[in-house]
Amino acid sequence: MTALLLPLWAHKLGVLPLLPVGLVLVLLGLGLGTKRRGWFWAGFALLALLSLGVTADALLRPLERAYPFMTAEECPEADAAVVLGGGVVGEVEGERLEWNDASDRFEGGLALLRSGSVRYVVFTRGKISGSAGADDGEMRRSEALRRGVAAEHIVLPGASAGNTEDEADSINRLMESRGWKRVVLVTSAFHMPRSMRLFRRAGIMPVPFPVDYRGRWRLGSDWMDWLPMAEGLKLSEIALKEYVGLAYYSLK
């Protein structure tokens, strides 16, 4: 259990050999070290397999179907929508934000606020890699203000260490200080199972509101799904990272 007490950066480095590129490199390294072709062929075969769209879909499906999709209007009423970090890449000349695929988290939070399902939207805080320590919670707050959301409906909790476990603890303290009874958890569908586990562990029973679906759920209906592509490898890595995270927190 000592390994579980390592700092966050050590866990992030330690998981690399379990992800597609790292695992393939390990196999190729074994082939180079032992001079056995079998390891080389295993590495290339694994790379090809995890690069298939059909493989990525098969890995993502259990994660993204763990909790049902719902519209903002169908969501049960709660005190606030908690929007987990992610989506913001950086800021361009202080005027607009650059987003990645997880921008649906931000949009989902605003949709819940506008539908009347929640009274507040909470943007968890963390540092954006490569952006000189910029706070993505502050950036998302500024963007919501630019879109006409009243400042009194936007809440920023205390700073966290940048992982979901710390975000859950931060939200727990925020709920206690404000007397909130129920919140809606907004995050990417593939990330929802791990997030729900960590929030429940922190003593919170949120309403899951999954967004940002990455899988196509067609499992080979298109012949392109059977061709190795970089996008397939990326999606397989996203899914495997979640499975490793679920296993880690189960042990912890």
- Token pair 């809440």: residue: 155
Q: Are residues 190 and 87 in the same domain?
A: yes
Q: Is residue 1 part of a domain?
A: no
pLDDT for the residue numbered 159: 72
Q: Are residues 147 and 240 in the same domain?
A: no
Q: Is residue 72 part of a domain?
A: no
pLDDT (tens digit per residue) in 17-71: 778 888 888 888 888 888 888 988 998 999 999 999 999 999 999 999 999 999 9
Alpha-carbon 48 to chain mean position: 25
pTM of the model: 0.87
As a whole number of angstroms, the distance between CA 105 and CA 86 comes to 8
Taking 60 as the threshold, does the pLDDT of residue 10 lie above it?
no
Q: Are residues 98 and 174 in the same domain?
A: yes
Q: Is residue 124 part of a domain?
A: yes
**CA-based R_g, the chain, Å:** 20
Q: Is residue 3 part of a domain?
A: no
Q: Is residue 184 part of a domain?
A: yes
As a whole number of angstroms, the distance between CA 82 and CA 118 comes to 10
Q: Are residues 237 and 205 in the same domain?
A: no
Taking 80 as the threshold, does the pLDDT of residue 178 lie above it?
yes
Residues β-bridged to residue 82: 122, 185
Phi/psi zone of residue 218: left (φ > 0), alpha (ψ -120 to 50 degrees), beta? alpha
Q: Are residues 41 and 97 in the same domain?
A: no
Q: Are residues 177 and 200 in the same domain?
A: yes
Burial status of residue 114 (CB atoms within 10 A of its CB: 0-12, 13-18, 19 or more):
middle
Q: Is residue 150 part of a domain?
A: yes
Residues 94, 205: contact at Cβ < 8 Å?
no
pLDDT (tens digit per residue) in 191-235: 999 999 999 999 999 999 999 999 876 665 677 888 899 999 999
pLDDT (tens digit per residue) in 59-109: 999 999 999 999 999 999 999 999 998 888 876 766 677 888 899 999 999
What is the total count of domains within the chain?
2
- Domain span holding position 29: 10-65+228-251
Q: Are residues 129 and 181 in the same domain?
A: yes
Residues 75, 209: contact at Cβ < 8 Å?
yes
